[in-house]
A and B are shown apart, each in its own frame.
Chain A
Amino acid sequence: MLARYVVRRVVASIPVVFGVTLITFGLLHATSGAFVPGLELNPNLRPEDIIRIRNNLGLNDPLPVQYWHWISGLLHGDFGRSLVDGSPVLRHISDRLPNTIELTITAILLGILISIPLGVVGALRRGSVIDNFFTFLSVAGVSIPSFWLALLLILLFSVSFHAWGLPWLPSGGAESAFGGGDPIDRITHLILPATCLAFVYIAIWSRFTRSSMLEVLSQDYVRTARAKGMSERRVTYLHALRNSLVPLVTLIGLELPGLVSGGAIIEIVFSWPGVGRLALERALQYDYTMVLGLTTFVALLVVVGNLLADVIYALLDPRIRYA
């Protein structure tokens, strides 16, 4: 049953994948044309060399042919080569992706660990001072630009703590230039960016858990559970929470696609060597094929992420599978 559902969802996402490649490729060529950074400016190249190089790069082929070459490469797992250093895009991705995932997963775990208890407490003490305080925090949480929060954290924990002679946290990078590679060093570098990223998740998810919990608590089956004579704790944490987590998992599932892109800005502020920072660095160097490859790759991950979220959802809520 579940297998058939998964197959159906996979088939449905094929046109989306195809469309994504069409859009990213089309957009790139509509905007950059066949511009190769630095090529025309290089004094060592004769005009005929330039033409030859362009021919070799396939830039003088008709667009459909270029698209065909590109997408057949994609089908073989070839995301193209950088225009700046000629290295395969995929190699850069495989260098950077683990860092990005490490950052995002840490933030998501932090977010889940903190937001669910906050949401449950808010729902159980609806209208209390503590509930109102959480509400305010979450509205503020989604109103604070993550990169500014990042600057403030750096200002406090790196710059000021350093100045005051306190133990301070590094303001950027994933490991120290000297003595890197040690897990403790890595964790100290991870703390600030992960906290920053988790902040937004907490703001959104705690609110969501609260409203979902309130809705579930008013359901008939919660009354049935109480009528069985169980403690309020068991009603809340077993019967109600399990149900209110179903929509929350979808919401967190919506972050699954963002696993790589969600932290892009944070990566940039903290110089975290992830995919998002790579995209920006290369965009600023007009490395179009790299940006195209990265964007396509990330979009494919989004499609896969959506798929995974649907499957998890189906696993958690048995009603979905038969719909």
Chain B
Amino acid sequence: MADHLLEVQDLHTVFPTKDGVVKAVDGVSFHLDPGETLGIVGESGSGKSVTVLSVMRLLQRPGRIASGRILYKGRDLAKASDPEMQEIRGEEIAMIFQDPMTSMNPVFKTGWQVGEPLRLHKNFDAKKALKEAVGFLHKVGIPEADKRADQYPHEFSGGMRQRAMIAMGLSTGPNVLIADEPTTALDVTIQAQILDLLRKVNHDFGTATILITHNLGVVAGMCERVMVMYAGKVAEQGPTEDVFANPKHPYTWSLLRSIPRLDAQEHEPLRAIEGLPPDLINPPTGCPFHPRCPFRIDRCIREMPPLEPVGPTQLATCWVTQAGRDLNEAAS
């Protein structure tokens, strides 16, 4: 097996609460190769954010990694010490967050914050770091970057702040950039600009990117590969084109059918996914999607399917497709 840049194996992350233990991430495995873009898709509560926060070891208390391995260049981050993680974060793996309004420290100037990773990891002095920060702010498309660097975050618009966050992430030249719903909090027009920027970053700097989103359209336009998550588990993963053309998990299939399409057949109804997302403290038996699944068979209620290859390029956790049935055909 070829060595991947980042490989997560059977990750379990739990949040003990007073009502019980929430299994936020329940046996997730995936990998990322250098320069690649991976999309992680799922509804809120599916564990996509917790998965990457586990990789960064930035879980809020009382969350913790219960088991699993997170191999980065062969080192297991799940077992790395705090100082080791500090070397990795910002230097090797950078992360940008959903809400640029709250993700920057309000009491420090933007340029100072963007240059901070350089001071931390590259031992730049304040002046050099600031100069470099201005350069990066310019590269991510912030006009008058030298003046902007001298302003506080609250003087920036949401889109500009997210650009600044990206500049902050890029400044040290990391190998992996994790973007956790980077466009959710922004206006639609700004969203497109930020996605263009992320695409450009991936192309120009060769930074492998993990993009977390609940928007399948974003994944289609950006990611080479996609992983769909449901209830803390992987539903399906594979090359984006293949997954979209021929989904191997009923959840992916339902998600794709719930997107409005311009090229839809006349009078074809838009389908919402019926039912509610599962309770993570007492998940359903067997496959967590079975209560909402139109293709359910008895085995789904009893037993959780493993993540197995289905078709030449995809992996899925579904008894139905693993048994060789095709969802598009079965539905029609």
Contact = CB atoms under 8 A, between A and B. Distances in A.
A219 B99 CA distance: 11
Interface of A is mostly: helix
A290 B321 CA distance: 93
The 10 closest A-B pairs by CB, nearest first: A229-B90, A229-B89, A228-B90, A220-B102, A221-B105, A227-B95, A220-B103, A318-B152, A229-B86, A224-B103
Contacts of B251: none
Interface string B69-90: 0000000000000110111111
Interface string A230-255: 11101000010011001000000000
5 contacts: A220-B99, A223-B97, A226-B58, A229-B120, A230-B86
Contact of A231 (B58, B83, B107, B116): B83
A319 interface: yes
Interface in B35-78: 56, 58, 60
Given A221-B105, A223-B103, A229 B152 contact: no
B117 A317 contact: no
A228 B102 contact: no
B121 interface: yes
Contacts of A226: 58, 89
A227 B94 contact: yes
B106 A317 contact: yes
A225 interface: yes
Interface of A: 218-221, 223-232, 234, 239, 242-243, 246, 316-319, 322
B154 A318 contact: yes
B26 interface: no
B168 A228 contact: yes
B181 interface: no
Given A227-B56, A227-B58, A221 B106 contact: yes
A230 to B, nearest CB: 5
B165 interface: yes
Contacts of A228: 89-90, 94, 116-117, 120, 168
Contacts of B83: 231
B54 to A, nearest CB: 13
Interface string B220-260: 00000000000000000000000000000000000000000
B105 A225 contact: yes
Contacts of A230: 86, 90, 116, 120
A225 B58 CA distance: 11
B107 A227 contact: no
A146 B168 CA distance: 51
B121 A246 contact: no
Interface residues of B, number: 31
Contacts of A227: 56, 58, 89-90, 94-95, 97
B89 A239 contact: no
A16 B226 CA distance: 64
A314 B281 CA distance: 46
B142 interface: no
B82 A232 contact: yes
Contacts of A231: 82-83, 86
B298 to A, nearest CB: 44
A165 B104 CA distance: 60
B91 interface: yes
A196 B70 CA distance: 55
A225 B114 CA distance: 11
Contacts of A322: 154
A224 B86 contact: no
Given A231-B83, A231-B86, A243 B58 contact: no
A224 B107 contact: no
A239 B116 CA distance: 11
Contacts of A219: 102
Contacts of B168: 224, 228
A82 B104 CA distance: 58
A148 B284 CA distance: 63
B116 A318 contact: no
B87 A229 contact: yes
A284 B112 CA distance: 59
Contacts of B89: 226-229
A277 to B, nearest CB: 41
A220 B97 CA distance: 8
B107 A246 contact: yes
A226 B61 CA distance: 14
Contact of B107 (A229, A234, A318): A318
B90 A317 contact: no
B97 A224 contact: yes
Contacts of B165: 224
B106 A243 contact: yes
B58 A221 contact: no
A220 to B, nearest CB: 4
B60 A218 contact: yes
A246 B108 CA distance: 13
Contacts of B87: 229
B86 A243 contact: no
A105 B151 CA distance: 35
